[in-house]
Amino acid sequence: MTNAVDPNWVVHDLDALAANFSEVRRRVGPDQGIFAAIKGNAYGHGALPVARCLEHAGAAGCMTGSFDEALLLRENGVGLPVVLFAGALASGMPELIGAGLIPTIVDMAAADAVASVATPEAPADVYVKVDMGLGRIGVPSHEIEAFLSALSQRPALNVAGLYTHLPFGDNAGREWASGRFRAFDDLLGGLDVSGLLPPVTQAGASSSVAVGLADRASSVCVGHLLFGLTPFADSSVADISAFKPVICELGSRLIQVTAHRQGDDVAIAGMFGLRQGKRVGVAPIGAAHGLQRPAPGTVPMALVRGKRVPIIAVSLEHLTVDLDGVEGAEAGDTVLLLGSDGATGIDLEEFAGWSGMSCLDAVLALSERLPAQYRGGAEGG
Ligand SMILES: *Cc1c(COP(=O)(O)O)cnc(C)c1O
């Protein structure tokens, strides 16, 4: 399970990932393609193993904003199309095309840069992003027809996809998004009539899939739900309990157990002059690995020998736990911060709750210094 010189680990469950993909498939039906959003190192779960698992599960492609993540997939045999969200300068387009990636373009400067390294005989694929009202990035929706029409005059360019992004986190956002989805459908209808409709179109993401907001696009692009994470700030918007967290275990091992004697003037976590007998254990995991310091008034728990034990302190590289309730605890014992140990467990919500973070933010914070293990998946793991 662990390495003696770095006894920390995090486990991701690829069977849960595949099951979440199937649940998305069940909800969108058989006709829409499912692209996987793997930005942010697959929302903290590891871009390459996630992409491999989802390729096997039947994803239509992967989308990320990071050139490095996209290259990692390309260089490690992932066969899916890899689309970059708009994240590069126009002058970077030749490098993206050269690496076999599909860039997103939102202006003519980028289109010209792509066209400069392709030919009408071997045109380069691009996706175009249209802004349907999120107000962040994309060609404004009232200009999109003219833009696509101008691109159609460049035979070295092939507009393979057109997408937008309409995420929402609460019920007011849901109202807004349903209007914007209808506008996107209308826009696709108009482009179809003028012969400018690209083969791949996409607006749906986790929030719309979770509430069943359908559209006429050819695909969706989903992140949160694949990882069993809610896209909602307000949990009453939709029940996502059918999606299971992919991160399933976070652990370390005790490197020392010390019984401080009654009257000892020790300073554990600033509790100077504890002066009461207490046995504490220390594991080599801390804030540098992405653990949050407990929010005031909370007593986060870990599991040692099947028992819930209070966490006394999170320092830069050490975790100190109170072992008074655990008979026989000793160096080498496992300390679980997330996961289950016999009859008791700590789920992702409880783990994230330490610090008042969302589950996604708690997972994203976990450092890439933690050795990751993968459980399940078609290729075993
Ligand atoms: C991140 C992203 C998605 C996926 O969003 P989720 O809410 O995580 O499903 C889809 N489309 C675009 C353009 C994105 O940037």
pLDDT in tens, the chain (381 residues): 568 888 999 999 999 999 999 999 999 999 999 999 999 999 999 999 999 999 999 999 999 999 999 999 999 999 999 999 998 999 999 999 999 999 999 999 999 999 999 999 999 999 999 999 988 999 999 999 999 999 999 999 999 999 999 999 999 999 999 999 999 999 999 999 999 999 999 999 999 999 999 999 999 999 999 999 999 999 999 999 999 999 999 999 999 999 887 767 777 655 555 567 789 999 999 999 999 988 888 889 999 999 999 998 899 999 999 999 899 999 999 999 999 987 899 999 999 998 788 999 999 999 888 999 999 986 543
Query: Does residue 110 sit in the same domain as residue 209?
Result: yes
Instruction: Determine the distance separating the centroid of ligand 1 and the alpha carbon of 172, expressed in angstroms.
Output: 19
Let me know: does 355 contact 293? Beta carbons within 8 Å. yes
Identify whether the C-beta of residue 69 lies closer than 8 Å to the C-beta of residue 78: no
Mutation choice for ligand 1 from 20, 222, 358, 360, CB with most ligand atoms inside 8 A: 222
Residue 8 in any domain: the answer is: no
Same domain (yes/no): 272, 194 = no
In short, whether 221's Cβ falls inside 6 Å of ligand 1 is yes
Q: What are 359's two structure tokens?
A: 């589950």
Domain boundary among 199, 227, 255: 227
User: Tell me, what's the pLDDT at 278?
Assistant: 83
Check whether residue 123 and residue 206 sit in a common domain. Answer: yes
Same domain flag for 317 and 188 = no
Boundaries of domain holding 259: 247-375
Q: 183 and 323 share a domain?
A: no
- Check residue 57 and give its pLDDT: 97
> The domain that contains 287 carries what CATH number?
2.40.37.10
HEC letters along the chain: CCECCECCEEEEEHHHHHHHHHHHHHHHCCCCEEEEECHHHHHHCCHHHHHHHHHHHCCCEEEECCHHHHHHHHHCCCCCCEEECCCCCHHHHHHHHHCCCECEECCHHHHHHHHCCCCCCCCEEEEEEEECCCCCCCEEHHHHHHHHHHHCCCCCEEEEEEECCCCCCCHHHHHHHHHHHHHHHHHHHHHHHCCCCCCEEEEECHHHHHHCCCCCCCEEEECHHHHCCCCCCCCCCCCCCCCCCCEEEEEEECCEEEEECCCCCCCHHHCCCCCCCEEEEEECCCHHHCCCCCCCCCCCEEEECCEEEEEEEECCCCEEEECCCCCCCCCCCEEEEEEEECCEEECHHHHHHCCCCCHHHHHHHCCCCCCEEEECCCCCC
236 in a domain, yes or no?
no
If one residue of 38, 206, 358 were mutated to test the ligand 1 pocket, choosing by the most ligand atoms within 8 A of its CB, it would be 206
CA of 317 to the centre of ligand 1 (A): 34
Cβ of 162 below 6 Å from ligand 1 = no
Entry pTM: 0.95
Count of structural domains, the chain: 2
Asked if 192 and 62 sit in the same domain, the reply is yes
Q: Are residues 72 and 136 in the same domain?
A: yes
Domain boundary among 227, 255, 282: 227
pLDDT recorded at residue 320: 94
86 and 136 share one domain: yes
Amino acid residing at 300: P
CA–CA gap between residue 253 and residue 274 (Å, rounded): 25
- The verdict on the CB of residue 165 being under 6 Å from ligand 1 is yes
So what's the pLDDT on residue 381? Answer: 39
Q: Are residues 300 and 343 in the same domain?
A: yes
Q: Are residues 309 and 216 in the same domain?
A: no
Residues 35 and 125 reside in one and the same domain: yes
Write down the pLDDT at residue 154.
96
Residue 235 domain flag: no
End-to-end CA distance of the chain: 12
CATH of the domain at 111: 3.20.20.10
Give the domain-ending residue among 227, 257, 277.
227
Nearest CA to ligand 1 atom 2: 37
